[in-house]
């Protein structure tokens, strides 16, 4: 013991330097960087809680925010896919509006069987995405211009087909299916997602987290002691979550939210565990290098637009389920929060990469920031101001911080 300290004595000053640099390394590590924005948001929510009390700390109300805005979060995923490919898809708002009108209008005005209606919506998303993809890839039209134009066309078609006015089932018109919209249906908040599935999913997450920790064992720790430490971390985390009424959260999840998370899960698997996901990231990051490495960049880009179109179409359908009606241009205002969610996703749980969970969580945080202010007395007309400000602030702060570290 004493001989060791003697041996280390002359290097006291470098020791201090390495402690300092260890601190810097910790600050600079991807994990810290990725969680910083998350922590900032959580601190903000604690502040909201202290300020607004039960009006903000209310599981049902907060889950209702997510439920009502599930279409926006899905649009966030839609734009995320094309952003990964290095493209912008500004047409998703128009597409969502179109499929909302198709869902309601084809039933109410034209009495189509509902299965066919859903098929038509998905087909619209597929064809719309294909049109975007071919315009950008085959004709080389600038992605902003192409999707701005097609977005206008999608929106316009919804007006042309259904008269450009609010559309909802009336007493003597055909009704939307009871399972789809209205009380106790897919679209209603009171219809809850089977909690057993959520619990199983959480258990899988816990196991995954444990294994992830296992892979990060510091060399000086023995396997046994690290097992105990990992287990301890897991127990503490679980205790915190249950302390925050995890049971209440799980029971409060609506079918809409569940469906949204399932779509997110599928997309995440595609992005992480398929060759397609890897090719898409490579295409977005350096198209020339990807092409020379054998990636069919044109094909991947078209598929990205098609996926984006399909997700936007689904978002529109869910919007119709939630509202049971279609209003002109309903999806166009969603473009800002959708892009905000995708870009916030690059600074949440990630350092600069687009990410499914980042997008969903970033979008949700954004909602809560705005809702908190509205609950606190801000008129709802400020929503877009807050959305824009939070997006710019979060991305700017984390960019500056990353440059410093």
Binding site for other proteins (CB under 8 A): 14, 17-18, 21, 24-25, 269, 272-275, 278-279, 281-282, 285-286, 288-295, 352-353
Q: Closest distance between other proteins and the C-beta of residue 342, in Å? A: 15
Which H or E element spans position 126?
A: helix 114-137
In the bound state with other proteins, the residue whose beta carbon lies nearer, of 348 and 366, is 348
* Both tokens assigned to 347: 């600074």
Residue whose structure tokens are 């949440």: 348
In the bound state with other proteins, the residue whose beta carbon lies nearer, of 20 and 183, is 20
Long-range Cβ contacts of 175-182 (<8 Å, 24+ apart): 175/107, 176/103, 176/104, 176/107, 176/108, 176/114, 176/320, 176/324, 177/114, 180/114, 180/320, 180/321, 181/320, 181/321, 181/322, 181/323, 181/324, 182/324
Q: Closest distance between other proteins and the C-beta of residue 226, in Å? A: 19
In the bound state with other proteins, the residue whose beta carbon lies nearer, of 83 and 367, is 83
In the bound state with other proteins, the residue whose beta carbon lies nearer, of 24 and 55, is 24
Determine the angle formed by the axes of helices 255-273 and 297-323, rounding to 10 degrees: 170
In the bound state with other proteins, the residue whose beta carbon lies nearer, of 244 and 292, is 292
Closest residue by Cα to residue 185 from 128, 110, 108, 254? 254
Q: Buried b / exposed e across 356-382, counting CB within 10 Å, b at 16+?
A: bbbbbbbbbbbbbbbbbbbbeeeeeee
Alpha helices in 138-244 (DSSP H): 143-162, 195-214, 223-243
Q: Closest distance between other proteins and the C-beta of residue 16, in Å? A: 10
Q: Closest distance between other proteins and the C-beta of residue 285, in Å? A: 4
Which H or E element spans position 23?
A: helix 12-28
Residue 19, classified by CB atoms within 10 Å of its CB into exposed (0-12), middle (13-18) or buried (19+), is: exposed
In the bound state with other proteins, the residue whose beta carbon lies nearer, of 116 and 293, is 293
Closest residue by Cα to residue 97 from 121, 65, 68, 73? 121
Q: Closest distance between other proteins and the C-beta of residue 305, in Å? A: 21
SS3 label, residue 371:
helix
Q: Closest distance between other proteins and the C-beta of residue 274, in Å? A: 6
In the bound state with other proteins, the residue whose beta carbon lies nearer, of 170 and 404, is 404
In the bound state with other proteins, the residue whose beta carbon lies nearer, of 359 and 370, is 359
Q: Closest distance between other proteins and the C-beta of residue 393, in Å? A: 23
Q: Closest distance between other proteins and the C-beta of residue 175, in Å? A: 41
């Amino acid at each position: 013991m004493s001989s060791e300290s003697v041996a280390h004595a002359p290097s006291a000053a470098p020791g201090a330097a390495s402690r300092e640099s260890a601190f810097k390394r910790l600050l600079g590590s991807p994990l810290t960087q990725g969680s910083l924005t998350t922590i900032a948001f959580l601190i903000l929510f604690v502040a909201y809680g202290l300020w607004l009390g039960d009006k903000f700390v209310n599981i049902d109300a907060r889950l209702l925010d997510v439920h009502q805005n599930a279409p926006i979060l899905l649009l966030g995923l839609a734009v995320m896919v094309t952003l990964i490919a290095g493209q912008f898809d500004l047409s998703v708002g128009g597409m969502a509006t179109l499929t909302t009108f198709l869902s309601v209008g084809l039933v109410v005005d034209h009495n189509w069987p509902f299965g066919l209606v859903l098929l038509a919506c998905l087909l619209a998303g597929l064809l719309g995405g294909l049109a975007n993809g071919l315009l950008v890839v085959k004709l080389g039209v600038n992605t902003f211009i192409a999707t701005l134009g097609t977005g206008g066309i999608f929106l316009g078609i919804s007006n042309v087909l259904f008269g450009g006015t609010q559309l909802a089932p009336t007493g003597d018109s055909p009704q939307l299916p009871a399972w789809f919209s209205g009380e106790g249906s897919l679209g209603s908040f009171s219809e809850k997602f089977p909690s057993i599935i959520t619990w199983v999913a959480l258990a899988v997450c816990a196991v995954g987290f444990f294994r992830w920790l296992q892979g990060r064992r510091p060399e000086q720790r023995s396997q046994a002691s690290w097992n105990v430490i990992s287990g301890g971390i897991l127990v503490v985390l679980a205790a915190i979550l249950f302390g925050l009424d995890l049971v209440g959260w799980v029971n409060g999840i609506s079918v809409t939210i569940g469906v949204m998370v399932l779509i997110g899960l599928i997309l995440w698997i595609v992005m992480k565990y398929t060759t397609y996901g890897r090719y898409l990231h490579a295409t977005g990051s350096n198209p020339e290098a990807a092409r020379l490495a054998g990636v069919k960049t044109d094909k991947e880009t078209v598929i990205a637009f098609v996926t984006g179109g399909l997700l936007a179409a689904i978002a529109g359908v869910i919007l119709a389920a939630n509202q049971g009606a279609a209003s002109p241009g309903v999806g166009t205002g969603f473009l800002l929060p959708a892009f905000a969610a995708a870009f916030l996703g690059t600074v949440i749980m990630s350092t600069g990469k687009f990410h499914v969970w980042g997008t969903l969580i970033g979008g949700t945080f954004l909602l809560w920031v705005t809702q908190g202010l509205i609950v606190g007395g801000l008129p709802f007309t400020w929503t877009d101001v807050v959305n824009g400000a939070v997006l710019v602030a979060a991305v700017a702060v984390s960019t500056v911080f990353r440059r410093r570290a």
